Each structure stands twice: as C-alpha cells, then as structure tokens.
Amino acid sequence: MTTEASTQSYSEQWYWDDRYANESEPFDWYQKYSSLAPLINLYVPLRNHPVLVIGCGNSAFSEGMVDDGYEDVVNIDISSVVIDTMLKKYSDRPQLKYLEMDVRDMKAFEADSFDAVIDKGTLDSILCGSNSRQYSLQMLEEVWRVLKDKGVYILITYGAPNYRIRLLKESCSWTTKLHVIDKSLTEQPLETPKWELTKPIPLDVDGSSVESAIGKSPDVHYIYVCTKDESLKTNADTV
C-alpha cells in the first residue's frame, strides 16, 4: 500500500538508494518500451542520435530501445546504488550509458546535446516532494537546455492536462502535443486499444478540450510530446 508519506519521499535520494538496495528485479513505471515503441519511433526517428532517459531506475526500458536499434541511450538517476547496479548489468552494451546525476542540475552535459529526453515518472516524483514547483521548474529548464533545437521532451505521466499544461507553460516555450495510452497496457495488452497511441488528442491552451475528446477521469497515462523551439523563446523574450 502506497501512503502519502512514502510518495512524498519519491523526490529524495535516500528513498531511492534504500529501495534499490532491496529491489533486484527490473521495474518499469507506467509503461514498458514495447507499449510505447510506436510513439518513440514516431518522434525519435534517428536511431544513431543521442537520447537521454532521466530517472532511469532499474527499468528495462532503455534496453528495449537498444534492442530496437537505438545506438546511444544515456541514462541518469539520482541513486548511486541503482547506477552502480546498471553499469555492471549492461557492461557489455556500449550503446547504454549510465551516470549518477540530479536532473535539476545536469551541468555535465553541454547545451543542445540530445535529440530527445524521455521521462517516465521523474517529474511526477519531484512533484510529490517538498519545494515541488521550484524543483520541477529547475528540472524542466535543464531538460530544455540539454535538448537540441527541435528536440523532443517525451513526458509519460499520470498528470492530467489541467495540471501539467500549466506547469509546462510556466517553464519554457514548448510546442506540446498530447497522446494517451490505456493503463491496462502495462500488464496485459488489449486486442484493440481504446485510444490510438500515435494519434494526438486535441489540446487547447488550458487542456480543457481533452475531457470532451476522451471523457472525464479516463483510465490512461498521458504522454506530452514537448518540442523545443528556440524561435518561440526568442519571440517571447522580445514581446
């Protein structure tokens, strides 16, 4: 059973070090790579360009990407325990790199380094903790910085548009598309998914259009595909 106290710890390094010291089996938050592959392939078509996976944990997601042909998948996590484990596990896979790093401070990476940044639950974890607004904005600004112009930040989350769209707008000048995927796909794929993964959901300024498209409180994970567009930032700065 997940308590409020434990979810508040999701933003703390000690929590993850302790969890991964006692958890040896791979665990994928929200969705496995096989479920999301069509969307990743759509928005990250160049498989020889660098991709960053933030808050990687002990997930097999990045392994799935490499098995699917991606050649340079960099993974970061705040937990030294899990990074040590993953470095040993994938020592024979040069396409997979693992670094201990705080997503709010990625100065080890130069600006404009990655074609894509993939986030399965890291922003959500930060939003569970103290100083959540400050820390989430720091994270999003760092994601923007390390992305190349026209690069994509792919955010897989339980956060509905009326919450996440506002936060994304506060951080940077993203161009955002919304996709959804059935939560049930995490375990047993449906023969006919209710939502077409690669088809964007209509999204207005505040996200209120989504309810009319998919109903109230749908059993889905939301996927925000946020494109970095330097021209939009330049225009906003001159207004």
- Note the pLDDT of residue 143: 98
- Which backbone phi and psi does 213 adopt, to 5 degrees? -85, -40
pLDDT tens, residue by residue, 64-80:
999 999 999 999 999 99
- Note the pLDDT of residue 187: 53
DSSP-derived letter for residue 111 is T
- Token pair, residue 213, equals 């498209």
pLDDT above 70 covers what percent of the chain? 89
- Token pair, residue 29, equals 């938050």
- Note the pLDDT of residue 214: 87
| Beta strands per DSSP E along the chain | 51-54, 73-77, 96-100, 114-120, 147-157, 174-182, 220-228
Beta bridge partners of 178: 201, 224
Q: Are 76 and 101 in contact (CB under 8 A)?
A: yes
The pTM of this model reads 0.90
pLDDT of residue 231 exceeding 90: no
pLDDT of residue 193 exceeding 60: yes
- Note the pLDDT of residue 235: 60
pLDDT tens, residue by residue, 153-185:
999 999 999 889 999 999 999 999 999 999 876
CATH architecture observed for domain 27-184+191-232: 3-Layer(aba) Sandwich (3.40)
- Note the pLDDT of residue 3: 47
pLDDT of residue 51 exceeding 70: yes
C-alpha dihedral (135, 141, 143, 149), degrees to nearest 10: 170
End-to-end Cα spacing for the chain: 49
- Note the pLDDT of residue 87: 98
CA pseudo-torsion sign 128, 34, 99, 18? positive
Residue spans of alpha helices (H) in 44-176: 61-67, 80-89, 122-128, 132-146, 161-171
- Note the pLDDT of residue 4: 47
Half-sphere exposure of 98 (CA within 13 A, CB side): 25
Interval 211-223 mean pLDDT: 88
DSSP-derived letter for residue 202 is P
Strand pairing of 147-157 and 220-228?
A: antiparallel
pLDDT tens, residue by residue, 98-147:
999 999 999 999 999 999 999 999 999 999 988 999 999 999 999 999 99
DSSP-derived letter for residue 59 is -
pLDDT tens, residue by residue, 10-47:
767 767 778 778 877 878 889 999 999 999 999 999 99
Interval 77-102 mean pLDDT: 97
